[in-house]
């Protein structure tokens, strides 16, 4: 029994209320050192991350671009599930993302979305899942969390900021708001094994190597077929 409890605490599945536990969770570096620190090393692997925001196009994709580039170049698949716009392949290619590893999936209903997410998260070829799932119940997020744990990949759900008050089993919850012309403010609402309330501001367009006109192109279309 003691061994089981120790294992649960080490994996940050049980919160020892008498003290703040600083166990390290396997993470994929974000590419922004000032963000890696409050996240405990980067995007958690084998867990869900929720990015809560008011709308698209404020720099949220530039936030995940370094990890997308790195994982795709390792031969890992990068899934985009129900993105609000068609990803712009030339801009991704310019940023050295391996387009052969990028797959865009559209689903017809909520059930299909959950089924697709679960299967992508469990697949051993997956490195990163980016998804815009719409409304989710807590039990559905729990299903996705279990799938993420099984696959050990990085999963980022982009959701409406109004969902911040929802009880969620996701390991990491971030609130994203624009800061000035090119900046993005990131506030940690929840972090498994860490303290919430930390924040930082990033100049995402500049750090990702994108001009402002190119930054919007990453989430606009059309997706053109890359040359062989």
pLDDT digits (tens, 9 = 90+) for 27-68: 899 888 888 888 888 899 998 999 999 887 777 888 899 999
Q: 159-203: per-residue pLDDT in tens?
A: 988 878 777 888 889 998 887 666 888 888 888 766 666 767 777
Residue 113 φ/ψ, nearest 5 degrees: -65, -45
Which pLDDT does position 207 carry in this prediction? 44
The H or E element spanning position 126 is strand 126-131
Give the residue extent of every domain in the chain. 28-217
Which pLDDT does position 33 carry in this prediction? 87
Give yes or no for a contact between 96 and 69, defined as CB atoms under 8 angstroms apart: yes
Q: Which residues pair with 103 in a beta bridge?
A: 79
Which pLDDT does position 216 carry in this prediction? 46
The H or E element spanning position 155 is strand 154-160
**Three-class SS state of 214:** helix
Identify which of 22, 29, 56 has the alpha carbon closest to the alpha carbon of residue 43. Answer: 29
The pair of structure tokens assigned to 92 is 């991704």
How many CB atoms neighbour CB 100 within 10 A? 10
pTM (2 decimals)?
A: 0.78
Enter the CATH code of domain 28-217: 3.40.50.300
Which pLDDT does position 27 carry in this prediction? 86
Give me the sign of the Cα torsion angle 159, 163, 168, 174. Answer: positive
**Three-class SS state of 51:** strand
Identify which of 111, 167, 156, 162 has the alpha carbon closest to the alpha carbon of residue 129. Answer: 156
């Amino acid at each position: 029994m003691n061994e089981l409890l120790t294992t649960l605490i080490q994996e940050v599945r049980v919160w020892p209320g008498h003290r703040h536990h600083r166990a390290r969770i396997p993470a994929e570096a974000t590419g922004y050192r000032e963000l890696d620190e409050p996240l405990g090393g980067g995007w958690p692997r084998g867990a869900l991350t929720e990015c809560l925001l008011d709308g698209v196009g404020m720099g949220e994709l530039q936030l995940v671009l370094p990890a997308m580039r790195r994982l795709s170049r390792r031969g890992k698949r990068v899934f985009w599930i129900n993105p609000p716009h068609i990803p712009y392949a030339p801009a991704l290619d310019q940023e050295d993302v391996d387009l052969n590893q990028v797959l865009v999936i559209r689903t017809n209903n909520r059930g299909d979305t959950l089924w697709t997410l679960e299967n992508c998260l469990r697949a051993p070829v997956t490195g990163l899942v980016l998804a815009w799932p719409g409304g989710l119940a807590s039990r559905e997020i729990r299903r996705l969390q279990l799938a993420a744990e099984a696959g050990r990949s990085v999963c980022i759900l982009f959701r409406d900021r109004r969902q911040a008050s929802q009880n969620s089993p996701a390991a990491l919850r971030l609130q994203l708001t624009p800061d000035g012309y090119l900046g993005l403010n990131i506030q940690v609402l929840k972090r498994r094994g860490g303290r919430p309330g930390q924040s930082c501001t990033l100049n995402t367009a500049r750090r990702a190597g994108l001009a402002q006109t190119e930054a919007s192109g990453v989430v606009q279309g059309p997706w053109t077929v890359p040359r062989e």
